[in-house]
Amino acid sequence: MNKIVFITGASSGFGEACAYRFASEGYDVIATGRRAGRLEALQQRIQSTHGVRLLPLDFDVQDKAAVFAAVQGLSADWQEIDVLINNAGLALGRDYFDQANMDDWETMIDTNVKGLLYVSRAVLPLMTSRNKGHIINLGSTAGKEVYEKGNVYCATKFSVGALSQAMRIDLLRHGIKVTAIHPGAAETEFSLVRFKGDASTATSVYTGIEALSAKDVADVIYYTSTLPAHVCINDLVLTCTQQANSMYFYKK
């Protein structure tokens, strides 16, 4: 039987690239997101290219009932999840703390923090019952240094770091690995979402740098899943070579 990876936010960016990478290594993939059409297209492409199974599941990670219904509805042949990638997330807006849109704040907290909690709690019984599994959480360099106008997005990614530490401690007794991955700037739909469809502002984020690609990040995520059972990467920061941390870039 193939190993199984459960990926949130597989309809785009890092999640989609992880779906391809893990499928190319023989994993069956549970691919989740809200855009069902994209997940179905991914299913067609991955199943025909890699000959593995892909199960598309569309739900909103902010909706606790929907998350639990989706995971608890998995048939027996999808329940032995080896790797959970908590990747779904977003930044919304880039504004001074005293001017930022509070609905944006709530969406980021509900998605990046509460969504990660719901998915983890829903999937964990399938790992703890086997004393086996690997949870990979997507943080960010924004969860390492706060930058101007990053306020709540940064706070949600600091939370991902804290929750990864907490999970690692509390799941020790089950032998479950927990890895936090903290990418720097990567060219995906992230900035288009952040700037609410303003393509020129979104593109300007990457002007003058060769940013990470989704594939670069997926390759590193996959690598962390390949280590022997007794070896766990706890925390990993990756940036493009023209970025030093969440504030310093060398733009050409």
Ligand X SMILES: NC(=O)c1ccc[n+]([C@@H]2O[C@H](COP(=O)([O-])OP(=O)(O)OC[C@H]3O[C@@H](n4cnc5c(N)ncnc54)[C@H](OP(=O)(O)O)[C@@H]3O)[C@@H](O)[C@H]2O)c1
Residue 114 DSSP class: I
CB of 133 vs ligand X, minimal distance in Å: 20
In DSSP notation, 132-167 reads: --EEEEE--GGGTS--TT-HHHHHHHHHHHHHHHHH
CB of 141 vs ligand X, minimal distance in Å: 7
Who's near 243: CB < 8 A, 6+ residues apart? Answer: 141, 184, 185, 209, 211, 249, 250
56 binds ligand X (CB under 6 A): no
H helix or E strand, kind and range, residue 236: strand 235-238
Q: Length of the chain, please? A: 252
60 binds ligand X (CB under 6 A): yes
Radius of gyration of the chain from Cα atoms?
Answer: 17
Q: For residues 23-42, which are near ligand X according to CB under 6 A?
A: 33-35
Per CB under 6 A, the list member of 188, 224, 225, 246 interacting with ligand X is 188
Q: For residues 27 and 195, which CB has a smaller minimum distance to ligand X in the complex?
A: 195
216 binds ligand X (CB under 6 A): no
Instruction: Using the Cα atoms of residue 215, residue 42, residue 164 and residue 151 in order, give the sign of their dihedral.
Output: positive
159 binds ligand X (CB under 6 A): no
CB of 131 vs ligand X, minimal distance in Å: 28
Per CB under 6 A, the list member of 66, 90, 146, 233 interacting with ligand X is 90
> 3-class SS at 213?
strand
Give the range of 5-13, 73-81, 122-130, 219-227 binding ligand X by CB under 6 A.
Answer: 5-13
| Binding footprint of ligand X on the chain (CB under 6 A) | 8-15, 33-35, 60-62, 87-90, 111, 115, 138, 140, 183, 185-186, 188-190, 193
